[in-house]
Amino acid sequence: MINHIAYSDTQHPPQKTGHPEPSLGTLFAQLTEDFSTLVRKEVELARTETMETASQVARSAVSMVAGGVIAYAGLLILLLAAAFGLANVVPLWLSALIIGLITIGVGALMIVGGRNALANISFVPEKTVETLKNDARMVEEKLS
């Protein structure tokens, strides 16, 4: 009697490659090494994204500080204008007052712009989260 093995469309007969199949221990060691490499790469990506975010925060903070300094200069000019106005009661104080108000306005705009830029920065490492999701899907596919 002849033994006949039927293979469905999704099954293929085992291929003889001439190479022995790796042992379970070898496969586990390779999986551990691949997982370790994957984790290192993910940590590196998270570190890079965090540094980019920190750089954006620093730029926004510098803008806010610059705005504060300019607003402070405006306050000094306003104080100077008040002193000139009280001392002389001449149009000189009016021009100093206008310059002081404009300076404070520019400083306020810079502070608001820096604050808005800071509010729009996400501290979640988006690329890392996405690659971790992809990695989890890949592992699930390989295990199933």
Nearest to 117 by CA among 60, 64, 63, 51: 60
59 occurs within a structural domain:
yes
Residues 35, 136 contacting (CB under 8 angstroms): no
Question: Residue 66: pLDDT band by 50, 70, 90 thresholds?
Answer: very high
Residues 48, 131 contacting (CB under 8 angstroms): no
pLDDT in tens, 17-46: 566 788 878 887 888 888 888 888 888 888
Nearest to 62 by CA among 124, 120, 117, 123: 117
Question: Residue 1: pLDDT band by 50, 70, 90 thresholds?
Answer: very low
CA atoms within 13 A on the CB side of 98: 4
102 occurs within a structural domain:
yes
43 occurs within a structural domain:
no
Higher pLDDT, 143 or 45: 45
75 occurs within a structural domain:
yes
Written as six digits, the tokens of 58 are 């620093």
Residue-range definition of the domain harbouring residue 66: 49-143
58 occurs within a structural domain:
yes
39 occurs within a structural domain:
no
pLDDT in tens, 98-128: 777 887 888 899 999 988 888 887 777 788 7
Written as six digits, the tokens of 121 are 């920065």
Q: What is the 3-state secondary structure (H, E, C) of 3-34?
A: CCCCCCCCCCCCCCCCCCCCCHHHHHHHHHHH
6 occurs within a structural domain:
no
